[in-house]
Each structure stands twice: as structure tokens, then as C-alpha cells.
Amino acid sequence: MMSKKLPVFTLGVEEEYQIIDPETRDLRSHLSKIVDGAKVILNEQVKAEMHQSVVEVGTVICKNVQEARTDLRLLRSKIVELAGKQGLLVGGAGTHPFSRWQDQPITDDPRYHHIVNELQDAARSNLIFGMHCHVGIENREIGLQLMNQATYFLPHIFALSTNSPFWEGRNTGYKSFRTKVFDKFPRTGLPEYFDSVQAYDNFLDTLVKTNCIDNPKKIWWDLRLHPFYNTIEFRICDMSLTIDETMCIVALIQAIVAKLYKLTVANTSFNVYRLALIKENKFRAARYGVMGDLIDFGLKKEVPTRDLIIELLEFVDDVVDELGSREQLNYVYNILNEGTGAAKQLAVFEQTNDLTKVVDLITGEFTKGL
């Protein structure tokens, strides 16, 4: 029997970049020159972020990983070029190794003033950089089921992306300290379980009606059914050092969604596990990256994270060729062999004991593959 063709799982990728002073290697405000310059060429694909030393980019809606890579390569190259004109560098990591948030000016925009006014130092100190991936799902009811099921895999994806071991000049002991910083915000972390889109929409509606949030985008979970677009958005990942790492993680996210979709429409769904259990795995991923153990809840035992990631590749294998993403997905083995961004940053620090050399790694790797 012929298996039914998968729908097109469109992709949108957002990345947050560090703008860096080549002399001090600290973060540096670009006074919106980079964003304004980029808007001329790239329209709405480039935005200012809360802190003036951050630039956020987003791809157009892409049909597959190849299109997403082409667009992201263009965005990375343009930002590097515009930063270069201001005598500045660009880097990719979840945190800056030594910058102090107290020294970084906030972007003058009513939206950010509102957030800072409400969240105070939790917002001011939120000097972090992530990568978000949208996967298009036309049917929101199915989208919600996929969100419930995909939550289980968030720690696996996150482990591969870990790239923020330093914070304010300290080795934090975590492979991703970014998530620890973001935990201070309300409505962050793993998503709640919802049994219907109606329940989800009611929840958003209640928060808006009671002035907890002024719009539903202020749900900052690690994974969310997007309130305005027909996508599910994965928000758990640290910003990657290289475009190869980003595209590998994007390919894995898309494959997980496609596989879970395939199971769902065949009336076999993946187990939904208790959130408190998945939190244990998220903590382990933040602390150890791919070098530790995660819990296999089916077996009720600890298993090396690397083994579970390889098992995950086998789980999605039957959708990969149809998605056309095998080359990108195979890069997982490079990450497992060479270590994540965090391991590379820590290796440089161990050799040099110099955080400016870690920044040089972050800016040097950024342009690789462009």
C-alpha cells in the first residue's frame, strides 16, 4: 500500500545576534544603524530587540530546509556586512561571556518600555540570545496535539543547541545558562498540556482579559501554538555558533513534527508524559548538554543523552527523505563528536583562561559556511 504523502511543513527561522566591539570584545549598541540599514534591503526580516546590542532576524516562510538555509545565509551575511561598516563584529551564542547587562542600554521603544516597567530587573537582565523555529501546521487542532506530544523531545533538541556556559564573566557550570536567566520571566518554560484548541484559546483569552498580558504573544514558552500564525514555534534553543548547527537543529525539529503528524493521522499518537518529568530532562540538558544522561521515561532509567539523540534520529528516519533534509540532519553526528557550542567555548577558555578569546571564537564561527 502506498503511504500518503506528507503535507509541506513550511519553516521560519529566527535568530538573535550579538553585536560586538572588536577592541573590547564587549557587546556594543549599534544605535539601530544596523537595523535601519538592513530594513532598506530586507524589509521586516530584521528587528531591534530589547537591548541595543542585539539584532533579531527572521527568514521568510520557506518550503524546506534548503530554502531556509539560503535565506538565513543571506541574513547572516547582510548583518555582518552592515556591522562591518560600523566597525563592529557579529557573533552567535546564547549569552555573552562577560558582558554585564547593567551596562547595556535598552532600545527606545514603547513595547520594551512596557515590558521593563512591568518586569523590572527580570527584563533588564534578560541579555540572552535564542534561535526560534516555526513549523507550519494548517490545522490548529492537530497543531495543538503535536505541541503536546513534541514537548517530550524539547530537552533532546535543547541539548544539541547548548551554547551559553558563561554569564557576566563566570563559568556557570551549565552548558546553557541562557534558560536559567530567562526562567525569571513569567509564562516561560515548558508548555502546559491542553486537551483542545478551545481550552488553549480560553486560557489566552483569560490572560488578556485580566490584563496579565496585552497580547497573546507574551506567552514565552519553550514551545507554543502560535497565537496568530498557523505554526508551532520551538523557542527552547540557544543561538548557535554556526549556520550548520542552526540548520541541523531546524531539520531535526521539522522531522519530529512530521513524524508525530504521521503517527497522529494514523491514529497512533506518541505518549504524552507528565510535565514534571520532562522538566527533569530539561534541567539535565541545560546542565550537561549532550555530555550527560537523560531519563528514558518508558524504560524508567538514565540513558546517555547521545544514545537518546541517535535513537531520535532512528525514530524520525522514515520522514527524512521526503522532507529532503538528510544532509542537514546527519550534521547531528558532527555536533555529538565535536561537542556543542558550549563545549567549544569551554575548550577555548580552558586553553587560554581568557574570555576575550572565547568572544573571538563566537565571532569567528559566525561567518563559517556563509
Q: What is the mean pLDDT of the chain?
A: 93
- The number of folded domains in the chain is 1
| 5 in a structural domain | no
CATH number of the domain that residue 231 is part of: 3.30.590.20
| 3 in a structural domain | no
| 100 in a structural domain | yes
| 2 in a structural domain | no
Q: Is 361 helix (H, G, I), strand (E, B) or coil?
A: helix
Q: What is the mean pLDDT of residues 75-92?
A: 95
Return the bridge partners of 56, or none.
Answer: 16, 47
| 165 in a structural domain | yes
Instruction: Give me the domain span that covers residue 337.
Output: 11-366
pLDDT exceeds cutoff 60 at 1: no
Cβ-contact 309, 294 below 8 angstroms: no
Q: Return the percentage of the chain with pLDDT > 90, whole number.
A: 77
| 226 in a structural domain | yes
Concatenated DSSP letters of 181-234: HHTTSSSEESPPP-SSHHHHHHHHHHHHHTTS-SSGGG-EESEEE-SSSSEEEE
Q: What is the mean pLDDT of residues 323-350?
A: 98
How many whole angstroms separate alpha carbon 179 and alpha carbon 126?
10
pLDDT exceeds cutoff 50 at 298: yes
pLDDT digits (tens, 9 = 90+) for 257-289: 999 999 999 988 788 889 999 999 999 999 999
Return the bridge partners of 301, or none.
Answer: 296
pLDDT exceeds cutoff 90 at 59: yes
Q: How confident is the model at residue 3 (pLDDT cuts 50, 70, 90)?
A: low
Q: What is the pTM of this model?
A: 0.96
Q: Where are the alpha helices (DSSP H) in 86-182?
A: 110-119, 121-124, 140-150, 154-161, 178-182
